[in-house]
Amino acid sequence: MLNNKPWLQKYPDEIPSTLTYMNQPVQAYLKKAAEESPDKMAIHFMGKEFTYQYIYDGSMKLACYLQELGIEKGDRVAIMLPNIPQAVISYYGILMAGGIVVQTNPLYMERELEYQMKDSGAKAIITMDILFPRVTKVKPQTNLQHVIVTAIKDFLPFPKNLVYPFIQKKQYGIVVNVKHEGNHHLLTEILKKPIRTIKEYPFDFEEDLALLQYTGGTTGFPKGVMLTHRNLVANAAMCKAWLYKCKRGQEVVLGVLPLFHVYGMTTVLILSVMDAYKMILMPKFDAETTLKTIQKQRPTLFPGAPTIYIGLLNHPDLKKYDLSSIDSCISGSAALPVEIQEKFEKITGGKLVEGYGLTESSPVTHANFLWDHPRVKGSIGVPWPDTDAAILSMETGERLPPGEVGEIAVNGPQVMKGYWNRPEDTAETLKDGWLLTGDLGYMDEDGYFYVVDRKKDMIIAGGFNIYPREIEEVLYEHPDIQEVVAAGIPDPYRGETVKAYVVLKEGAKVNEAELNEFARKHLAAYKVPRVYEIRDELPKTAVGKILRRVLVDEEKRKIKDEEEKRA
């Protein structure tokens, strides 16, 4: 086994190679936390705190209400909320009712929302007052029967709860008043009701779905990833095993990653409840607010994404804040530049390591070790317990030896059941239990894995294979660059050529010629970007992943427009 899994030799004694998973649904862990630590604080939200007992009771009340509305086992219920306490109550309430959660990005506009509601067949949605008009516009075209509405002010402390509606009116220019009647329901009214007996359903740990998590859809229509209770419980348990120095009930988790994204859901929401940690929920990422929150609330765990860490490191008043409470950070969603990793560790005194995963794997499959082991620069680390990984030839599908580049494939209890109502896509992505990631990489002799790029992002210029990540790593070393993404754009001579989109640090004035000179010192000539574009910002997903495909599509549209003008 060690020949195929050389990484197991690198495991510290504290991390087992295999774990035992309790045959219980995701929501059972909230019940356990409430029974064992009823007065323990589960959530801190903008100055107000809520106990595990309160969150459990609220989830039970919502579950009872959903069942009264006709929600049965397997029915889909959508959550369209930012990181607020209501999102936690909604998540566990839906699962307690026997439903399947459909996480929905609150930034979605009508077209995106309508597509996801139609595709999932959701019967109900839980959303915010300011999003209510958007939901009501698409409701007639979907299977939505009920809309449950809440407001940020509902869970704010006095006097913030009185002031916030005025801030919201100024920010969004609307005031929404929803009455608790008909098919429209107010969460505040639901939570006033007593807890009643809920209907219990037979439970299958391995087969029953807990979640439909939609992929980003940057290369086509989003697909609903079917994640079972086993998938989510297993991945959170793996995370807990990896963080072996963390103590039950004692850690404080900074919840700035959106809970509607699977990475935030697993590493913030499910992990915290599983081990009775306190979550500090932040509705959106703002560098200054995050720095103030870290100093005041003293989080110990900080799951994040590179753009979040970069945003903090580039804040002009960074040195004014004490970030020393942070002990452990696992970065995901995109490649973590080594320079950012080292700077953040120096500022906080904690450990920041890169991990790897996909929505289809709940999401984490690999990570570097946090403690007691030297990190391997540029590596995504080694597979987690019970997780197998291999590099497969893109031509033959056979397993490749160490050092050779191919497609990363993973296998383990966190791998999805498949795509919702898409058997052909499922068959294309899952092969004999193996998840084909679409990422190109290699494994070294010690079992550490490296991502060189997305299969679809690889640039072929003049016959050379060029990996954008390598170019980005080099440009991130430039002292004036805050963010960068490299992409292949159409070129009549080379087929594709490399373009770098750059966001400069505040006050920086570097020009394209200087960037080109820097790149030529560190890259082979064929890899050096031929074009640079300096921008104020880059398009990103809600979790901070830079949308390279959006930039490429913009470029193609420009070329097409120019051709049409010439014609």
Q: What CATH number should be reported for the domain holding residue 469?
A: 3.30.300.30
Query: In sequence order, what are the beta bridge partners of 428?
Result: none
Question: For position 560, what pLDDT does the model report?
Answer: 84
Pairing relationship of beta strands 495-504 and 481-491 according to DSSP bridges: antiparallel
pLDDT at 3: 60
CA–CA distance, 189 with 535 (Å, rounded to integer):
47
Give the H/E segment covering residue 165.
Answer: helix 160-172
Q: Are 538 and 526 in contact (CB under 8 A)?
A: no
Instruction: Say if residue 165 is in the same domain as residue 281.
Output: yes
**Residue 191 located in a structural domain:** yes
User: Per residue of the chain (567 residues), what is the pLDDT tens digit?
Assistant: 346 899 999 999 999 999 999 999 999 999 999 999 999 999 999 999 999 999 999 999 999 999 999 999 999 999 999 999 999 999 999 999 999 999 998 988 888 899 999 999 999 999 999 999 999 999 999 999 999 999 999 999 899 888 888 888 777 777 788 999 999 999 999 999 999 999 999 999 999 999 999 985 444 578 999 999 999 999 999 999 999 999 999 999 999 999 999 999 999 999 999 999 999 999 999 999 999 999 999 999 999 988 899 899 999 999 999 999 999 999 987 778 888 999 999 999 999 999 999 999 999 999 999 997 777 888 999 999 999 999 999 889 999 999 999 999 999 999 999 999 999 999 999 998 899 998 899 999 999 999 887 777 878 786 677 878 889 988 999 999 999 999 998 887 677 889 999 999 999 999 999 999 999 998 888 889 999 999 999 998 877 778 888 898 898 888 888 888 877
Please say whether the beta carbons of 135 and 144 come within 8 A.
Answer: yes
Residues 236 and 360 in one domain: yes
pLDDT of residue 493: 67
Secondary structure string (H, E, C) spanning 328-381: EEEECCCCCCHHHHHHHHHHHCCEEEEEEECHHHCCEEEECCCCCCCCCCCCCE
Selection from 535, 526, 524 nearest residue 500 by Cα: 535
- 426 and 474 belong to one structural domain: no
The verdict on 429 and 535 lying in the same domain is no
Count: domains in the chain: 2
- The reported pLDDT for the residue numbered 556 is 84
Domain shared by 377 and 495, yes or no: no
- Give a yes or no: residue 7 inside a domain: no
Q: Which two tokens stand for residue 114?
A: 């309508």
Residue 446 belongs to a domain: no
**Spacing of C-alpha 199 from chain mean position:** 32
Q: Choose among 435, 432, 431: nearest CA to 415.
A: 435
Domain end position, chosen among 440, 473, 495: 440
452 within a domain of the structure (yes/no): no
pLDDT at 36: 97
What H or E segment, with its residue span, contains residue 407? Answer: strand 406-411
Q: In whole angstroms, what is the distance from residue 231 CA to residue 238 CA?
A: 11
Contact 51, 40 (CB under 8 A): yes
CA distance linking residue 158 with residue 46, whole number of Å: 11
Q: Tell me how far apart the alpha carbons of residues 315 and 79 are, in angstroms, rounded to a whole number.
A: 32
Let me know whether 463 and 429 are in one domain.
Answer: no
Residue 282 shares a structural domain with residue 175: yes
Examine residue 2 and state whether it is found in any structural domain, yes or no: no
Residue 4 in any domain: the answer is no
Say yes or no: 357 and 244 in one domain: yes
What are the Cα distances from residue 561, in Å, to 42, 488, 490?
54, 19, 14
Q: How far apart are the first and last CA of the chain?
A: 63
CATH of the domain at 214: 3.40.50.12780
Q: Does any domain span residue 80?
A: yes
Residues 6+ apart with CB under 8 A from 524: none
Residues 433, 465, single domain; the answer is: no
Same domain, 60 and 200: yes
Count of CB atoms within 10 A of residue 442's CB?
18
- Do 298 and 209 sit in the same domain of this protein? yes
Domain interval for residue 482: 459-566
Q: Determine whether 384 is exposed, middle or buried from the number of CB atoms within 10 Å of its CB (0-12, 13-18, 19+).
A: buried
490 falls within a domain:
yes
Q: Are residues 310 and 400 located together in one domain of the fold?
A: yes
